[in-house]
Chains A and B, each alone.
Chain A
Amino acid sequence: MELRNVVIVDYGRSPISKAKGGALNKLTSLEVGAQVIAKLLERNDKLPKDQVEMVAVGCAFPESENGLNVGRAMVIKSGLPTSVAGITVNQFCASSQQTVMVIADAIACGKGDIGIAAGIEHMVRVPMGGYNPAYDKELNEKNFYIGMGDTAENLARDIEISRDDQEQFAMDSHKKALKAWDENAFASEVIDITLPDGSIFNRDECMKEPNAEKIKSLKPAFQADGTVTAATSSPVSSGAAAIILMSEDKAKELGLKIRAYVKTTAVAGCDHERMGMGPLPATDKALKRAGLQLNDIDVIELNEAFAAQSLYVIRKGNWPTEKINVLGGAIALGHPLGMSGARIIGTAITALEKLDKKYALATMCVGGGQGAATILERRGE
């Protein structure tokens, strides 16, 4: 069977809200996600809604108000016809990168022409770990459930990533994000969210002008003798993102602008105590599948779970810093877990378009010891 080309025609996301006093705290993820999808479809009015095969919603903690197959709930809530299917995908932080893979694979195989890959997370209303966690004894003894901060500490220790370097990385992320906002770089991707009081939420809340003195004064957040602090970790945050995928033929038939091709994707496993290294094996696989070298990649969106984890990937993989997270990363923008996969794929397209480049890599680490990677191609036509 010959695989079909899969393209992304549009992408949108909510602004990301912070934990304390966050603008989105009065909305559920379902409500935020439904607004994103509905408004994204509104601006793509050529798209016949009844031809959407499926909405896949990624969520790292799909329980409570994110439970009950929130993917199907999203179909109805966002005003899509009941004929559209809805599923929920859990792959922790890569949940919505995985939804892109699920939808893209189906389209490539001819199982449907149009799909929406979305991601949500409300880390305040449904906290990390969920409400009713339980561990398996044997896996626990193997430290399978190791805290994410501890995995970052392990990587920092492995190759001696200093606290100073981590802090510099975090401050750069904030500066890049602030600059991107100043330049209105997210105009095409950020979708206004209407809050319950009727006001409009339209700007990310987490990034701020870095205060070096304050950052240096913080105590280590996870290990008293460690180097990882709250400032060098991605913040607890909330938001939703959605990507419209379809076959190349369908996009052309509908006369929709193709913003990027999904060149290939990959997932890979790694040591769960060093889960932050996941982007390395995943990227290797993806590059091979795409027949590309890292040098060919123009733009890299590397999800910044932790500065230490990002620096580990950069140093171990000898990645080109100047191509990474040019619009700021998760440390500054926020990392609503299930939303981030779609967010970095979308932002990779934003960056490709801004810089007028061809290839982008969006990659991230995943709790439990995994990595996910997607390679996008932007064609000049």
Chain B
Amino acid sequence: MSPIKTINHVAVIGSGVMGGGIAAFFANQGITCDMYDIELDIAAANLKKLADPKAKIPLLYTPRLAKKITPRSNSDMAEHLHKADMVVEVVPEIQDLKDKMMAQIDASRKPDSMIVTNTSGLSVNRMIANVSDNMKKCFAGTHYFNPVRYLPLVEIIPAATTDSEMVAFLQSFFTQAGKKTIICRDTPNFVANRVGVYSLMKTLALMEKYNFDVETVDAITGPPIGNPKTATLRLCDLVGNDTTLHVAQNLYDNCPEDKERDLYKCPPILARMVEDKMLGQKSGKGFYRKEGRKILALDIKSWEYKPAKKIKLDEIKVARSYQKIEDRLYQMVKGDSPIHKFCREITLSTAAYAIDLVGEIAEDVLTIDNGMKWGFNREIGPIEALDAIGLDRSMEWMRAAGMSVPNLLQEVASTTGSFYKKSASSKSFFDIEKKSFVSAPKNNNAISIAALKHKGNILRENVSARLIDLEDGALLLEIDSRMVPTMNPIDEFVVSMMEQAFEEIAAKKFSCLVVSNQNANFCAGANIQLLLELCKEKKWDAIRDMSKAFQDANMRLHYASVPVVVAPHGMTLGGGMEVTLAGHKRVSAAELYGGLVEVGVGLLPGGAGNLLLIKQFINNMASQRPGPVVPTMKALELIAYGKVSSSAHDAMSKGFLNRDDIIVLDKDMQIQKAKEVALEMVDGFEAKKPQDLLLAGRGSFYVIEENLKGLLRAHQVPPHGAFIATKMAHVLTGGERANPATPISEDYFLELEREAFVELCSEPKSQERIVHMLKTKKPLLN
């Protein structure tokens, strides 16, 4: 018998932060889940936290998915555990407790069910010393990272007895669920935490050596060197200083051969913090403390909290001017200032530490780099970082700093000259057995836009968008801004390419169109800098033309004679959402932060977004016969408050996506899926036709206007916010002409939208909102 290879029901044992996150992970996939804890009340309370719609970090795609999870008491295992195809053990990291739990699981599980442990530090092989042979075969470590929904890494740690098919199944299961896996050896703290905790401990040591304060350390060890904004000390606060100390101690106790072992010996600063109950977020104070809206930082010398300083450093400024992380990192480590030296030392020592562990904690460099990228959201892996610096230069700097140069580094420098060889379509890494490059595994079913480009499939291109032959008759419109690559805003070049797409469709007889990209975000709005300049110059006609061009482009998509599938992901805001609404079908990534947020910059959607949204509401609600006001209010609520979805599921319940739109968990497969869906729609596809609209009309406009005045009197909306919402209501109720018995044309509606857009652009308070957004990246509530 081999382990079960389908997962319909899961038991998660432990309902704390990790257990809850893991239960949510399964619930998000629609898998039913029993969540156990020592008492039913504890499990129920933790489930309530998961389902809290106001949770700061929502772990469920939507609170409704909490229904998939049943809280249970450990004492009910005998009755219920046998239902589970997979049991995930997430009890505290105490060997005795784990042993007892393993025995209990073994007694109640069904034969061949997969049993996995989420231990972060204990030996996976040791854990199953006393269980049945069947369980030994069906057992592995699956180590998730917190918060489970947002950190893609799952470390898979096979035990010596684990069935190899189970390992393959786990890899494929997690990948389809949108996770990234690495295979780790059963060594203390596995891969990501082993290197990650080293990097953290080393940073604390360097902090003392360089005499840097808390704010400076986080400013330089964050995005400038490719780490997320949590940087180092904020991450400590998030994880909990007691946990960090515990993990470090685990390494000290269990890695007697580790060259850097002394670093794990209880660093005084952490010990003092734990003693003073400064555990981080869980105790309300750590390296930082929040006081109301104010953020205070710990002054290490006086051991007091002081208002956190804003750190402005020339080194960071220079680095920021480079878009690629390789260049940014190099800029941060190349010079002789204390900042440069600090960054150099942490980068080189982490790389050296990681290189020395290749073959011990994981098979290859790729696994370690991927572990650090996927587990800690780093842009670049520690070993990859040396490629960015140059191996010879890295070695030279290491020697100069008195560090010993790892043998593997010397070997690679003298053979292949780099750890990786990357091209648009492939990636190879140095293999320590073969002593040469081998290809990194890749999903052959996934479409890579980079590979298509490399293959010569680009049909047209400008600075913000591209038309690419997706093959099999499908055309891809890629929104890909060279000027703002993280945001991909809509600009005239995107709009032009939207039009050109139809020339290509006509010329080359493409049967369908997919709109997407494979950047960090689909499209986070429009070029508001340009818009602001036009406003300042009072070029209202130009603004009107701009709005009309985008309206026309979106309506052209909407009324296209071939199926148009939009595949949004990540931030899909403003113009990005308007394009999404224009599609005939959406294949969305599960992580979709979508909304029509123009109100944040004092405007309303100006690219047919109002029309497309209200049409969607009217059509979707038609069978309920709600009358004209309900869809109007639904649409108004979304755009007047600039509501943003917290996931694709949430976008569906808010009404941005339709119930029959498709949600893809594995983002790598999104374009492939979108292409499949588009091709499936080709046969029998009928172009949509413009329809006259029956809208709520003036009577309802007055109602909304009066309600807004009321909200304003109660100070529940800011004055300009109410003004903008009134303009939105004017458009959504169909202006002066509409009433529930008199339909208006879509063209008239678009004219209303355009004119309201231009009018709002001319409002000084709207312009203030734009300026504020450009300056602070936050909306102004004036």
Contacts and interface: CB of A to CB of B under 8 A. Distances in A.
B703 A133 contact: yes
Interface stretch (A134-142, A200-208, A315-323): A134-142
B661 interface: no
Interface in B617-661: 626-630
Contacts of A136: 699, 702
A224 interface: yes
A135 B699 contact: yes
B110 interface: no
Contacts of A222: 710, 713-714
A137 B698 contact: yes
Nearest to A129: B703
Contacts of A137: 698-699, 702
A150 B628 CA distance: 27
Q: Main secondary structure on chain B at its contact with chain A?
A: helix
Given A145-B706, A147-B706, A150-B710, A132 B700 contact: yes
Given A129-B703, A140-B702, A147-B706, A134 B713 contact: no
B697 interface: yes
A149 B629 CA distance: 23
B627 A131 contact: yes
A150 B713 contact: yes
A369 interface: no
A140 B697 CA distance: 15
A223 B710 CA distance: 8
A135 B700 CA distance: 6
B259 interface: no
B702 A134 contact: yes
A134 B626 CA distance: 14
Contact of B714 (A129, A133, A221): A221
Nearest to B697: A134
Nearest to B625: A64
Contacts, number: 57
B62 to A, nearest CB: 20
Contacts of B630: 131-132
B276 to A, nearest CB: 33
Contacts of B696: 132, 134
Nearest to A153: B713
A147 B628 contact: no
A131 B699 contact: no
A112 interface: no
B777 interface: no
A223 to B, nearest CB: 5
B209 interface: no
Interface of chain A, main secondary structure: loop
Interface in A94-142: 129, 131-137, 140
Given A131-B627, A140-B706, A223 B699 contact: no
Interface string B583-611: 00000000000000000000000000000
B56 interface: no
Contacts of B740: 134
Interface in A218-242: 220-224, 226
Contacts of A220: 714
Nearest to A132: B627
A224 B711 CA distance: 9
B775 interface: no
Nearest to A141: B702
B771 to A, nearest CB: 27
B713 A224 contact: yes
Nearest to B633: A131
Interface string A295-335: 00000000000000000000000000000000000000000
Contacts of B629: 131-134
Nearest to A223: B713
Contacts of A226: 713-714
B715 interface: yes
B714 A223 contact: yes
Interface in B694-730: 696-700, 702-703, 706, 710, 713-715
A311 B647 CA distance: 49
Contact of B700 (A134, A149, A223): A134
A140 B709 CA distance: 12
Contact of B710 (A131, A133, A135, A147): A147
A238 B698 CA distance: 31
Contacts of B713: 150, 222-224, 226
A135 B702 contact: yes
Contacts of A147: 706, 710
Interface string B419-459: 00000000000000000000000000000000000000000
Interface in A33-64: none
Residue with the highest number of chain A CB atoms closer than 10 Å, among B627, B629, B714: B714
B736 to A, nearest CB: 11
B729 to A, nearest CB: 12
Task: Give the residue among A133, A140, A147, A226 with the most B Cβ atoms within 10 A.
Answer: A133
A131 B630 CA distance: 6
A108 B254 CA distance: 96
Contacts of A135: 699-700, 702-703, 706
Nearest to B698: A137
Contacts of A140: 702, 706
Interface string B673-708: 000000000000000000000001111101100100
A137 B740 CA distance: 16
Contacts of A149: 710
Most buried by A among B698, B699, B713: B713
A63 B350 CA distance: 68
A42 B662 CA distance: 54
Contacts of B700: 132-135
A224 B714 CA distance: 4
Given A150-B713, A220-B714, A131 B626 contact: yes
Contact of A224 (B697, B702, B703, B715): B715
B707 to A, nearest CB: 8
A129 B699 CA distance: 13
Contacts of B710: 147, 149-150, 222
A34 B472 CA distance: 63
Interface in B730-782: 740
Contacts of B699: 133-137
A149 B711 CA distance: 11
Nearest to A145: B706
A145 B702 CA distance: 10
A221 B703 CA distance: 19
Contacts of B698: 134, 137
A132 B706 contact: no
Nearest to A146: B706
A148 to B, nearest CB: 10
A300 B179 CA distance: 68
A134 B715 contact: no
B708 to A, nearest CB: 11
A226 B715 CA distance: 11
B716 to A, nearest CB: 9
A41 B409 CA distance: 92
B703 to A, nearest CB: 5
B626 A145 contact: no
A145 B703 contact: yes
B730 to A, nearest CB: 14
A232 to B, nearest CB: 14
Nearest to B626: A131
B704 to A, nearest CB: 9
Given A134-B696, A135-B706, 13 more contacts: A131-B629, A132-B628, A133-B629, A133-B703, A134-B703, A136-B702, A137-B698, A145-B702, A145-B703, A149-B710, A150-B713, A221-B714, A223-B713
15 contacts: A129-B703, A131-B627, A132-B627, A133-B703, A134-B697, A134-B699, A134-B702, A134-B703, A135-B700, A140-B702, A145-B702, A150-B710, A222-B710, A224-B714, A226-B713
Interface of A: 129, 131-137, 140, 145, 147, 149-150, 220-224, 226
Q: Which 6 A-B pairs have the closest CB atoms?
A: A134-B699, A132-B627, A224-B715, A135-B702, A132-B629, A223-B713
